[in-house]
Chain A
């Protein structure tokens, strides 16, 4: 009896060690709703060093985009000419009445803005921020 219990404890410890060595932190999932050309939530907090999957749900009958990056990144897109995004995880096109998702890992703490750069959309308030802790 004693030996059997000891073996079970050893197995549990072993499993825990294996899990601790081989597994990465779980992916976080965040849903962002797009309604009347606004993001909801427009402000959210995620930890750094953890993969976060952003699910973008566009309820509007018009196309939108979700671009996340620093100020230089956004300044580039304010005058950009790319009609559709999708090649990069930080540039996502979300077609009318559809959803899209992307997974990002933020390396450092700080604030990162996300904006729709379709003409007039940022001025209309289609922007938000991710607080990376």
Chain B
């Protein structure tokens, strides 16, 4: 199936700190403060290949900190991303600033290390493993994962056991002269027929009262099908479609002129979903069908991954089920109405 999908997931991150695991309550990171990174992500999908571009911003401080990002499949290439793709999309849609990530370190454990790349002051590791394996790897490599991490990692690993661990070396960044806020763009080339945008991980480590704020950009051949559809019954408050239009030739030309972005097609549809929702409500991912048909309930995380859910994973199937339930109720209601009609008192004067 020829599909073109570009995704920009605003955030993705596990709260992590480098250094020894800390116990007891009230402890803070080894740098004396919690370092939060702002991470912006873009992914494009063309001819079965997803181009995932994300930027890790230097947040100051010392030591190491980073994030974990679930991926839909195994990348074949990890390289430095273009310089202005994310900024250009921001300008196009007047978006808001993105998300926060945290800290970590890199090494090896039970999880299989598929790829390791150093980009500027950023160490990227592509991992394959179950939730427990990847979590153990992260823990052993300095990530201090929040309490919801075991469940969230399983949530992703059951669908795709591929994760990206990014560790930002703040000391190296400082030596390179990177200023606070400077981002390091990373471009992943991911052959996959199953693209989705990780959203649930944006709520990782957050309390229910905290909010998830993110921007998701999609660039598709046609208007894409989204699940959950923004502003629908399935989507929470603050999950809104803020841009949906044919991408301008100028935008596509600008994107195509950036490093590694030659894959951008001549014609595409640009979509932006803005998320500003309670963390407790972000328990799903954004499933996408680039052809505009029904995205998968499994990809959205509404149904668990399994060997046989395929026929029942589309909204159409759920609509049929709802119709099947509603039909007898409708019949009962109709029969009751008819009965009441017969028992109603005769008209005055009759």
Q: Name A residues whose Cβ lies closer than 8 Å to a Cβ of B.
A: 35-37, 59-63, 65, 77-85, 93, 96-97, 116-124, 126
Name the residue on B nearest A58 (C-beta): B150
Within 8 A of A (CB), among B127-162: 131-140, 145-151, 153-154
Q: Kindly identify which residue among B23, B27, B150, B207 contacts A61, using a CB–CB cutoff of 8 Å.
A: B150
Within 8 A of A (CB), among B103-133: 131-133
Q: Are B150 and A60 in contact (CB under 8 A)?
A: yes
- Count residues of chain B with CB under 8 A from any CB of chain A: 29
Known: A63-B139, A85-B23, A117-B24. A97 touches B132 (CB 8 A): yes
**How many angstroms between the C-alpha atoms of A80 and B24 in the bound complex?**
5
Count of A-B residue pairs with CB < 8 Å: 91
Known: A60-B150, A62-B149, A124-B147. A119 touches B138 (CB 8 A): no
Within 8 A of A (CB), among B15-35: 20-27
Q: Are B148 and A63 in contact (CB under 8 A)?
A: no
Residues of B contacting A36 with CB < 8 Å? Answer: 148, 150-151, 154
Q: Are B147 and A121 in contact (CB under 8 A)?
A: yes
Within 8 A of A (CB), among B256-306: none
Q: Are A62 and B147 in contact (CB under 8 A)?
A: yes
Q: How far is the CB of A37 from chain B (nearest CB, A)?
A: 4
Name the residue on B nearest A125 (C-beta): B147
Q: Does B183 contact A (CB under 8 A)?
A: no
Name the residue on B nearest A81 (C-beta): B24
**How many angstroms between the C-alpha atoms of A35 and B148 in the bound complex?**
10
Q: Are B148 and A37 in contact (CB under 8 A)?
A: yes
Name the residue on B nearest A74 (C-beta): B25
Q: Can you list 7 A-B pairs, Cβ within 8 angstroms, ordered by A?
A: A36-B150, A60-B135, A63-B139, A77-B25, A80-B26, A83-B24, A117-B24
**How many angstroms between the C-alpha atoms of A48 and B23 in the bound complex?**
30
Q: Are B146 and A120 in contact (CB under 8 A)?
A: yes
Known: A36-B151, A61-B139, A62-B139. A117 touches B25 (CB 8 A): yes
Name the residue on B nearest A64 (C-beta): B147
Give the most central of A61, A65, A78, A122: most B CB within 10 Å: A61
**How many angstroms between the C-alpha atoms of A64 and B20 in the bound complex?**
14
Q: Does B315 contact A (CB under 8 A)?
A: no
What 6 A-B pairs are tightest by C-beta distance, nearest first?
A: A61-B135, A80-B24, A37-B147, A124-B147, A61-B136, A117-B25
**How many angstroms between the C-alpha atoms of A95 and B293 in the bound complex?**
46
